[in-house]
Structure 1
Amino acid sequence: MTEETSSESPTLVKTLRPYHVWALGVGIVLVGEYMGWNFTVAKGGILGSLFALLVAGTMYVMVALCASELGAATKLAGGPYDWARLFIGPGAAAIVGLAVYMEYIALEAADSIVVASIAQSIFPEIQVLPVTLLVISILTFINYRGVVAALTLNFALTMTAFIAIIMFFFFNLLGIGNIPWNPAELISGAMPNGIVGIFAALQFGPWFYLGIEGAAMCAEECKHPSRAVPLGQQAGMITLLIGAGMTLFLCSGLIPASVLGVSVYPLYEAATSSGMYFLVVFLAIGTLFTCIASANGCVCDSSRSWFALSRDNFLTPWFAAVHPRYYTPYRAVIFTMPIAIAFAFSGFLDQVITFSITSGMVAYVMIPFALIRFRKMFPQHSSKVRPFIGPLQPWIAYFTIFLAIIILSTLNWGYRYNLIFGLVFYIVAYFYFNWRYKSMESEHDWERDMGWPNPVMHRS
């Protein structure tokens, strides 16, 4: 008992700055600019891809605004889980915590396999599975040793990958190297499957931005979370919107739509068509770096969600221990490794990623709903309770919920059983945890836990 108490006595330390928040959010997501988004072209052509980019981008801008306001107010490591726990209830908290965990673990597994596949393309004699295991192990160790080191690495990798996209774009725009960008490709592949295809493309629209809300999950470890979370999260969203627009513009004019829709590495393939060796190498490095950064950020975010669930006894409290030297939730970090390996070795990564998207959409319904509840419970505009106030709320939150449900419903085209399984899984989890932890409703001491006055309205 004494040993366990002493091992859990350290707490997470406040060391992160706004650029770390940016690195966490963009680092997880930028891989979606390098690959995956192009499946929107297979469904709805270039026009469908543009439609998906804009609709999903609108939803994610609003999700980021909701997450910024909630993260700056609560300053807790669990992010969406803690917002649901505080402002909705235990059932919602459990499904959001599990959804966030599944979303990031699945992405980590996919990213690690892509890194291994890239390594195999360079060195054909190596095997994918051992390298995948090695990547997951190294990134787990980095996160075990400290969040500053992990997110500083993310910043360097992500910035390099983003600069590669910017350089490619401006080389094309300024005519450097005579890159054969052809506007006729946009017209010929505009809408191959009609209106239905355009709406079906929405299911892959989240690839451009999936995971940006995770930037708020390092709030408890920020020096000044009221400033760092909104600044890092909004800067990250702007970065992704710019990157998504540049990526679609470049690839749609350099690769025929029929090829683009099934390409594994569309940005790299677009670079190879430029005939510029420098760009090909830079985009290859960017592809590798962004996959590593995404997997690294996923370890960070998934472990924080697991840590938060454990700290509140939804799971065994054993996972809530903080390392006495490195001040990381080390047991939660280590536990990400076997789960990621299990996903990676399953052989059904397209299904796993679809479950990741389903999990993300569930979270995107609950995050704005938590904000609506938060504002009703604490309408005070004091900096103590609401240090960051987003614009046009709660209307933005309501519209976010509507868009998330619309995008979620498009999984019916091609992934109907995944959608049904995911929804049944989370509905069962909601009712179980809501029944099992009903007593949590009355456990909040707002003054002691948050330094806030009692809410104006209580949850029902």
Structure 2
Amino acid sequence: MTDEITKDPLEESTGLVKTLRPYHVWALGVGIVLVGEYMGWNFTVAKGGILGSLLALLVAGTMYLMVSLCASELGASTKSAGGPYDWARLFVGPGAAALVGLAVYMEYIALEAADAIVVASIAESVFPEIEVFPVTLLVITFLTFVNYRGVVAALNLNFALTFTAFAAILVFFAMSVTGFGGIWDPGNLISGAIPNGFIGIFAALQFGPWFYLGIEGAAMSAEECKHPSRAVPLGQQAGMITLLLAAGMTLYVCSGLIPTEQLGVSVYPLYEAATNSGVQLLVVLLAIGTLFTCLASANGTICDSSRSWYALSKDQFLTPWFSAVHPKYRTPYRAVIFTMPIAIAFAFSGFLDQVITFSITSGLVCYVMIPFSLIRFRKMFPQHSNKVRPFVGPLQPWIAYFTIFLAIVIMSTLQWGYRYNLIFGLLFYAIAYFYFNWRYRSLESTHDWGEEMGWPEPVRT
């Protein structure tokens, strides 16, 4: 398979440090995703109007809630840093594992690049004399350094940024419903309900994931949690509830303060809604929230993408050189640093919608494989026990089957506007699957469940 490589002293370090608590898991998951409430989701309005946006919010929210339940059960059981990669490796096979690990990496790296571009664009709007790309480079470099220095510092930063951005949405919503947040016009809901008919409503589903894209990444902190069987489900589900509330509040305030035709093309819909409210406090608060949520998302994506790359390297799908853990900071520092050139390459393209579409495609590949991994897990280990399954999600495996169906339906809607992106993405991952499945097929039956997981031997399926 892979030739033995002499390891340097850094690679002999003891592994990732277990310091994270449930609020860190919440900060990681929500921090990555909350940017989708501040921008991007409103393209659902351009496709399907207010009704299409509401349907996209509900359908995508249902899918992500079920993905979150699957990820909570798998993450609490395996307690590994690789997240979806490790679940596929253990319960599906090497080809699927490498495919998912690569998809997770690309999903978060593309999202990191998009976030950095937006931060730079905000900076340019405030200071017109600066250029976008140097600021983008500075943002990526700074956040990479934060993650290099330690996961606790990175996620404490994420918690502060994310909490502030979520509080801004709460304040905006509270002021709107009490009449202090500007004149909320219900006529916008009627005039822009269904501008493009039924096809438009269906096409709006392609942007539904923007409300929640990346929440499954919260489970990737499991190996660094003090008590993963408690922290992962609690932090993951609290994060999902937070996002559902934030999505509903965002759609409410924006649909009443911005005319539909403007809302569908707005770059910063929450900030624009605050501007239209005429309340200076909200303008300042939402400007800060927009900046903070982009930084939190970029910061969280570095954490998650590096863990996926670290897991691939640790199992020698990549060179073991990337699996080194820093002896002082206890971070997978080489995997963290390697996120930087890839993110810069994505950012250099400058095509924000194309970068995000590739991130969504990569995410949807994961949303097929995560529930499939859970289905396989339950077949292999059907008996519930605190050792194997400390957290048991409700209505499984039916939820997992329905999640796969919804992910495929949402993926199919990318043909309206992003057909070639979808074809390229699926072709890319198909080639990756067949290559890794052929290259590492000997790994299929090499699990020592007792030594690796402390579990009994599985039921053969």
TM-score, normalisation: structure 1: 0.98
Equivalent positions of 1:7-406 (< 5 A) are 7-176=11-180, 179-406=182-409
> AA paired with 1:334?
I
Question: Residue type of the partner of 1:418?
Answer: N
Deviation sequence 1:125-159 (CA, Å, 0-9, x none)? 21111111000000000000000000000000000
Q: Shift of the alpha carbon at 1:5? A: 4.3
Deviation at 1:380, TM superposition (A): 1.5
Is the 1:91–1:430 Cα contact (8 Å) retained in structure 2?
yes
Give the letter for the 2:251 counterpart: L
Query: Which letter does structure 2 place at the counterpart of 1:140?
Result: T
CA distance in 1, matches of 2:230, 2:396: 19
8 A Cα contact 2:10 2:326, kept in partner? no
Moved over 2 A (4+): 5-10
Please tell me whether the aligned partners of residues 343 and 349 of structure 1 are also in contact (alpha carbons under 8 angstroms). Answer: no
In structure 1, how many angstroms separate the alpha carbons of the residues matched to 2:282 and 2:351? 33
Write the letter of the residue equivalent to 2:113: A
TM-fit CA distance, 1:246: 0.2
Deviation at 1:6, TM superposition (A): 4.6
Q: What amino acid is the match of 1:78?
A: G
Aligned residues of 2:117 and 2:352 also touching (Cα < 8 A): no
Aligned partners of 1:161, 1:57: CA distance in 2, in Å?
20
Determine if contact 1:203/1:407 at 8 Å carries over to the other structure. Answer: yes
What is the alpha-carbon distance in structure 1 between the residues aligned to residue 27 and residue 21 of structure 2? 10
What are structure 1's unaligned runs of at least 5 residues? none
Structure 1 residue aligned with 2:433: 430
Residue deviations 1:27-78 (CA, integer Å, cap 9, x gap):
0000000000000000000000000000000000000000000000000000
Encode CA deviations 1:169-193: one digit per residue, 9 max, x unaligned. 000111125x110001001000000
* Paired positions, count: 457
**How much is the aligned-residue C-alpha RMSD, in angstroms?**
0.9
**Paired letter, 2:170:** I
CA distance in 2, matches of 1:44, 1:346: 28
Instruction: Give a deviation string over 1:421-458, Cα, whole Å, max 9, x none.
Output: 11111111111111110111121000000000000125
Q: In the alignment, residue 245 of structure 2 is paired with which amino acid?
A: I
- Do 2:117 and 2:350's aligned partners in 1 also have CA atoms closer than 8 Å? no
Q: Which amino acid aligns with 2:70?
A: C
Q: What are the Cα deviations for residues 338-384 of structure 1, in whole angstroms up to 9, with x where unaligned?
A: 00000000122321211110100000000000000000000111010
Question: CA separation in 2, counterparts of 1:116 and 1:423?
Answer: 30
Letter in 1 for 2:177: L
Are 1:443 and 2:454 counterparts?
Answer: no
Larger mean Cα displacement after TM superposition, 29-38 or 419-428: 419-428
Q: Distance in 2 between matches of 1:18 and 1:3?
A: 34
How far off is 1:8 after superposition? 3.2
Separation of aligned partners in 1, 2:365 and 2:48:
24
Does the 8 Å CA contact 1:161/1:287 hold for their aligned counterparts?
yes
2:374 aligned partner, one-letter code: L
More off after superposition, 181-190 vs 346-355: 346-355
Deviation at 1:2, TM superposition (A): 6.8
SS state at 1:345 partner: helix
- Provide the C-alpha distance between the structure 2 equivalents of 1:67 and 1:29, rounded to a whole number of angstroms: 16
